[in-house]
Amino acid sequence: MDDKHEKSPQARGAKGGAARAVKLTHEEKALIAKKGAAARWNSITTKSKENNALVTARRGNPITPGQGTLDLQIQKQIEIDGVGMGVLSDGTAFLTGRGLARLCGISNPRIVEMGQDWDKSPAPAMTAGIHKILAERGLAIDTPYIEVKQRTGVFYAYPDIVCLAVLEYYAFDAPNRSDQAQKNFRLLAGKALHDFIYTQVGYDPDDFIPHHWQQFHDRVSLTYNSVPKGYFIVFKEIADMIVTLGQAGLQIDSSFVPDGSVGNIWAAHWRDNDFDSRFSARMKWEHNYPDYFPQAKSNPQPAWCYPEAALPEFRRWMRESYVGGGKFSAYISNKIRQKELPASFAQLVITAYNLGD
């Protein structure tokens, strides 16, 4: 069969395109690539504008209007081939500085310099080029990274929108263009980087549970149907306290386990008042922490459960002695001294429980 009948219009067009490409100068090829990049950007910038680019974190209302909200946290994180990536607690997809540098085929100090030069006027060529790319997409970014305050120090997360701008700069605009940046930009332009990060870390925005609430949920699920009938446990009885503080903005995680403090002091109160004789004997049950909790190393842990007849006494003691008597404030202060909780916890607790009156 004749060749011209075998070739589809699409195939003949592709062949013609390849022939034209051979005749293009380097500058003309770069211009075409830039136009393609602009088209790909539309898919992410349009979506970003709808979501205000970096959306506000989903949290409970602050206790007082002047207090503000706590910092974002890392929801999920992973490293693939030296490229660190993850998702923040507000759904922002990010790369680490080293991961972004690796993706662009440049050294990490260049990314550090970008952050240091971000507000300089006039800005150095690299930073000015990235500002220009973002401005062309209608994006104004105060800083190229988001500071995530952790107990080990400050972590810098570079949002996917900034990462794409840096990648585009090194693919097309930098004096020393990077072949690696061009290759990765073609693969990850538009929403591809955003979706790639979500997929790699296993993040589903439609099934979102903030990390600190997930930890609380996991603890609750491990106690479901595990307590002997007719008995109560401290953790379930103080769940309203944990929820109240979580809604106020406290980070509910493995470092904040107030049921241990409550349980120890309540157990002493029980012994001192010989409540075994008054309510019937308490008993041991197997308590487990979620596998990822540091405390899980000693699972299962024998813990006390108490006869339900003692519930009114426990609730009175909790209200009047543990909280009202200052024992809860002492627990928080001790955790802050041990640097297991940030100092801001103290004011949140005082405000949530009106302890300053």
- In the DSSP assignment, the letter for residue 170 is I
Tokens of 121: 């006027």
Angle, CA of 324, 335 and 70, to the nearest 5°:
90
What gap in Å lies between CA 15 and CA 337, rounded to an integer?
Answer: 71
Q: Exposure of 312 by Cβ count < 10 A (0-12 exposed, 13-18 middle, 19+ buried)?
A: exposed
Neighbours of 124 (CB within 10 A): 12
Map residue 28 onto helix, strand or coil: helix
In a structure prediction context, what are the per-residue pLDDT tens digits for the chain, which is 357 residues long?
A: 444 444 444 444 444 544 544 555 655 555 555 555 555 445 444 444 443 333 333 333 322 223 333 457 787 899 988 899 999 878 899 999 999 999 999 999 999 999 999 999 999 999 999 999 999 988 888 899 999 887 677 899 999 999 999 999 999 999 988 899 999 998 888 888 999 999 998 887 766 556 657 777 777 777 767 788 999 988 888 877 777 766 655 666 666 667 777 888 999 999 999 999 999 999 998 888 777 777 778 888 888 999 999 999 999 998 888 888 888 878 777 777 777 666 666 666 666 655 554
Query: What is the sign, positive or negative, of the torsion defined by CA atoms of 134, 137, 139, 144?
Result: negative
Q: Which amino acid is at 37?
A: A
DSSP per-residue string spanning 56-90: PP--PPPSSTTT--PPP-EEEEEEETTEEEEEETT
Alpha-carbon Rg for the chain, nearest whole angstrom, is: 28
Predicted structure pTM score = 0.49
